[in-house]
Amino acid sequence: MTSETDAAFSLLTAYAVRTRAHTLLALGIDGRLPHFRVDLGKLDKVADRVIAVTRAAYPSLDVPFHSRWRHFVHKDHDRFAALAKKEDSAAQARAEFDLAIVSVFLDAGAGAQWRYTDAKTGEQIGRSEGLALASLDMFAAGTLSADDKDPLRVDASKLAQLSAGDLARGFQVSESNPLVGLDGRASLLRRVGELALAKPDVFALKDSARPGGLFDHLVAQHGSALTAPDILTALLRELGPIWPSRLSLGGVPLGDCWRHRMLVTGDATSGFVPLHKLSQWLSYSLIEPLQRAGVTVSNIDGLTGLAEYRNGGLFVDASVLELHEPLRILEPHDVSSELVVEWRSLTVALLDKLADIIRARLGMGAETLPLAKVLEGGTWAAGRAIARDKREGGGPPISVISDGTVF
């Protein structure tokens, strides 16, 4: 293994996301970043806003983890829980991994126009909640299963053949109901299927290759106890090649990792800013299936906050982050642009700072209020609420051009 390959694998960790985010935040506090000013003095008011939103949703402060499973609950009805359960805990965990992996990878922003018409209620539901229900309905219908007798599963062979048209039908996409990045999402899922077929040592089960084989792989590696960062490392190493061709180092694709001129190190990773938003969102979403299967998951706070436009929008809308050139907020920015990379990375570090303030205010520690609960309580909902207050349609304060595979 070359030194560049070692350096690349060092970027495929939550530790790298966090440490590099805090490096950029320190530069921002010193006024040395090219795009954003940072005003930590305004974090107290942000904490007030987040605590108020959290108390309104969870009066007892018994907050669940921020994960995909929350989006399967619609109007207090848990749609996933209503599905049939498998015969044993491992089989159930594989099915839950199948669903979570597909659903999260389809969860990049839907755009302001798209809506999913719920067959049960007739309601039109957009954004993450709509994407979640659409993916759950596809799963429940057996659309992604290669076994007619076992619909509640996802087979790699089916994913590998998934077309944009298949996805459009499942997600009710039309000219009048466009979904941002439809082709990119379908291509991503095809690559998941192709990779699972090509890696039988990780994904093959008795009768088929499935994304859910990752459950067995994690248990084989770690037994009945692992850490949350272990989940992310496995996802990034085993599923890393699925991401669109972006940056690589030593032949290793780096996924949701970008460049920023101010992130200077003394090795081959200089300039690289890893974020791994969807993979961390998936890591959070795999914790509960592991726990339900009897696996202990520790160091939840070893993962970071999520570098996406709800959390990031909260800090921009509350003026914790302000652009040096305010008029640039009127422009759409490519997801690879240094401005967006800076915004997303600062979001990760600011979420750590904000979590500390919120815990101190509530008299709680990281064990009782881990970052996964601060996000759920929380920053994501507060970011959505302030966006609705400030802009018709509740879009983010900074428009990002994405292909449906980032956030």
Q: pLDDT (tens digit, 9 = 90+) per residue, 195-222? A: 999 999 999 988 799 999 999 999 999 9
For the cut 60, the answer to whether the pLDDT of residue 87 exceeds it is: yes
pLDDT of residue 2: 65
Q: Rounded mean pLDDT of 65-72?
A: 94
Q: How many helices (H) and strands (E) does the chain have?
A: 16, 14
pTM (two decimals): 0.94
In a domain, 9, yes or no: yes
- pLDDT for residue 84: 86
Q: Which residue has the higher pLDDT, 52 or 106?
A: 52
Does residue 378 carry a pLDDT above 80?
Answer: yes
Rounded to an integer, what distance in angstroms lies between the CA atom of residue 170 and that of residue 318?
Answer: 37
Please report whether residue 406 resides in a domain.
Answer: no
The mean pLDDT of 382-388, rounded to a whole number, is 96
> What pLDDT is attached to residue 322?
98
- Provide, rounded to the nearest whole percent, the portion of the chain with pLDDT above 70: 99
Going 379 to 386 to 176 to 78, the CA torsion angle's sign is positive
Rounded CA separation 225/291 (Å): 10
Tell whether the model's pLDDT for residue 1 goes beyond 60.
no
Tally of structural domains, the chain? 1
C-alpha 144: how far from its chain's center? 22
The predicted structure's pLDDT at residue 36: 98
Please state the rounded mean pLDDT for residues 340-353.
98
pLDDT digits (tens, 9 = 90+) for 260-282: 999 999 899 999 999 999 899 99
Reported as a pLDDT band with limits 50, 70 and 90, residue 402 is confident
User: What single DSSP character describes residue 258?
Assistant: E
- What pLDDT is recorded for position 241? 87
Q: Is residue 407 part of a domain?
A: no
| Mean pLDDT, rounded, for 387-405 | 89
Let me know if residue 356 belongs to a domain.
yes
Average pLDDT over residues 358-364: 97
Token pair 């690589």 in the structure block, residue: 248
How high is the pLDDT of residue 206? Answer: 84
- Mean pLDDT for 47-69 is 96
Would residue 142 count as lying in a domain? yes
Q: Is the model's pLDDT at 257 over the cut of 70?
A: yes
Alpha carbon distances (Å) from 265 to 2, 26, 376, 378:
18, 15, 34, 34
Question: Would you say residue 365 lies in a domain?
Answer: yes
User: Where is average pLDDT lowest: 75-79, 173-177, 256-260?
Assistant: 75-79
**14 belongs to a structural domain:** yes
Res. 285: pLDDT tops 80: yes
The pLDDT value recorded for residue 244 is 75
**Residue 64 φ/ψ region, left for φ over 0, alpha for ψ in the -120 to 50 degree band, beta for the rest:** beta
| Predicted pLDDT of residue 389 | 96
pLDDT band at 384 (very low <50, low <70, confident <90, very high): very high
Lowest mean pLDDT among 37-46, 103-112, 388-397: 103-112
pLDDT band at 393 (very low <50, low <70, confident <90, very high): confident
In this prediction, residue 406 carries a pLDDT of: 75
pLDDT band at 112 (very low <50, low <70, confident <90, very high): confident
Query: Tokens representing 186?
Result: 């379908």
Domain that holds residue 353: 3-401
Nearest-angstrom CA–CA distance, 231 and 295: 12
Residue 58 resides in a domain:
yes
**Of 93-97, 102-106, 253-257, where does the model show the most confidence?**
93-97
Q: What is the pLDDT of residue 282?
A: 95
Residue 147 has pLDDT above 60, yes or no: yes
